[in-house]
Structure 1
Amino acid sequence: MNVRTVCLSILYEDDATGYEIRRLCVEGDCSYFVEASFGSIYPALAKLEADGLVHSRVERQDGKPSKKVYSITGAGRAAFIGALHEPLGEEIFRSPFLLFARFAHLLPADLVETRLNEYLEHMTQSKKKMEDLIAERSCNASDTWVINYGRAIMTVGEQHLRSHMQGLIKLAKAESTLKDAAE
C-alpha cells in the first residue's frame, strides 16, 4: 500500500484534513498499515485532487486559520477499491528493539534485562489498547478481524520473548563500560 491508497482509505470512511490523516497514520487506526509523513501526505492529496479522486473545501474557524478538508469522490471510491485488487507489497517491519537485541552481547546484563522488561510492558500496553479499541468502538467484523490479528501477532511475540529472554540476558556482558566499546 502506498500513501495515496491510505489517504483514500481514510477518506472512504469520512472527510478529513491532511493533519487528521497524518494523526491517523501515526497514532490512529492506520498506524499499523503504512508510515506517512506530512511530506508524503500533502503531495498525495494534491495529486489525488488533480486526478479527480478527491476534492477539497476550505472551512473557516473562529480564531484559527482556515482548514482544508478533503472528501473522496465517486471516482476516488472506485480507485480505492481498484487499489485493493492489486497485489500486496512486501510487509515492512522495523524495530528499534531488535537492533538493541542484536547487539545485546555488547551491553551489561542488567541493562539488557531492564530493556526486555520495558519492552514486555510496552507489548502488554499495546495489546490492551487493541482490546480497548474493540470494547470502546462499534467495530465492524473486518476491523475486529484486523485488531485480533494484531493481538495474535503480539501474543506470539510476547510468548517468545518471555520464554527466551534469559538467553538474551546471558549473551550480555556481566559488566560493560563505554571504554570497552572504544577499545
Structure 2
Amino acid sequence: MNVRTLCLSILYEGEATGYEIRRLSVEGESSYFVEASYGSIYPALAKLEDDGLVSSRIEPQDGKPARKVYSITDAGREEFVAALHEPLAEEVFRSPFLLFARFAHLLPCELVRSRLEDQLNKTIEKKKRLIDLLEERTTSASDAWVISYGRAIMAVAEQHMRTHMHELITLARSEPAKKDAAE
C-alpha cells in the first residue's frame, strides 16, 4: 500500500486536511498501515485531485490561515476499492529496539536492563491503547478484527520480553564499556 492509497483510505471514512491525514498516519488509527510524511502526503493529494479522485475546498478559520479540506469523490471510492484488489506488498518491520538488542553484548548491563524495561512498558502501553480503542468507540467488525490482531501482536511481544529479557541482560557487559583511550 502506498501513500496515495492511504490518503484515499482516510478520506473514505470522512473529510480531512493534509495535516489531519498526517496525524492519523503517525499517531492515529492509520499509523499501523503506511508511514507517510508531509512531503509525501501533499503531492499525493495534489495528484489525487488532478486525477479527479478527491476534491478540496478552502475553509476560513478565525485568527488562523484558511485550511484546505479534502473529500473523496465517487471515482476516488472506486479507485480505493480497486487498489485493495492489488497484491499486497511485503510487510515492513523496522525496530531501533531490535538493533539495540542485537548489540546488547557490547553494552553495560544496567543500560540493557533499563532499555528492556522501557521497551516492555511501551509495549504494554501500546496494547492498552488498542484495548481502550475497542472499548471507547463503536467499530465495524473489520476494524475490531484489525485492532484485535494488533493487540495479539503486542501481547506476544510483551510475553516474549517478560520471559526472555534476562537472556539479553546476561549477555550484556557486567561493567560499563571503557572509554576510548584517545578521549
TM-score range, shorter chain: over 0.9
Q: Distance in 1 between matches of 2:181 and 2:163?
A: 29
Sort the Cα spacing of 1:181 and 1:63 in 2 relative to 1 into closer, same or farther, 3 A: farther
Tell me the number of residue pairs that the alignment of Structure 1 and Structure 2 aligns.
183
Q: How far has the Cα of 1:181 moved from its partner?
A: 9.5
**RMSD (Å), alpha carbons:** 1.4
- Write the deviation string for residues 123-167 of structure 1: whole angstroms up to 9, x where unpaired: 111111001101111111111100000011111111111111111
Structure 1 segments (4+ residues) deviating >2 Å: 180-183
CA distance in 2, matches of 1:15, 1:49: 14
Q: Which residue of 2 aligns with 1:35?
A: 35
The alpha carbon displacement at 1:37 in A equals 0.2
Unaligned runs of 5+ in 2: none
Give me the identity figure in percent: 70
1:3 and 2:14 correspond: no
SS at structure 2 position matched to 1:179: coil
Q: TM-score, normalised by structure 2?
A: 0.97
Query: Is contact 1:106–1:176 with CA below 8 Å preserved after alignment?
Result: no
- How far 1:180 sits from its partner (Å)? 5.6
Q: Deviations over 1:80-123 (max 9, x none)?
A: 00000000001111111101101101101111011111111111
Give the whole-Å Cα distance in 1 for the aligned partners of 2:9 and 2:115. Answer: 36
Tell me by how many angstroms 1:178 deviates: 4.9
Cα shift at 1:34? 0.6
Aligned to 2:52: 52
Any conservation in 2 of the 1:22–1:41 contact (CA below 8 Å)? yes
Give the equivalent residue in structure 2 for 1:108: 108
**Superposed CA offset, 1:42-74 (max 9, x none):** 000000000000010000111110000000000
**1:7-18 maps to which residues of 2 (within 5 A)?**
7-18=7-18
Compute the TM-score of the two structures, normalised by the length of structure 1. Answer: 0.97
User: What displacement does 1:177 show?
Assistant: 2.7
- SS across alignment from 1:101: helix
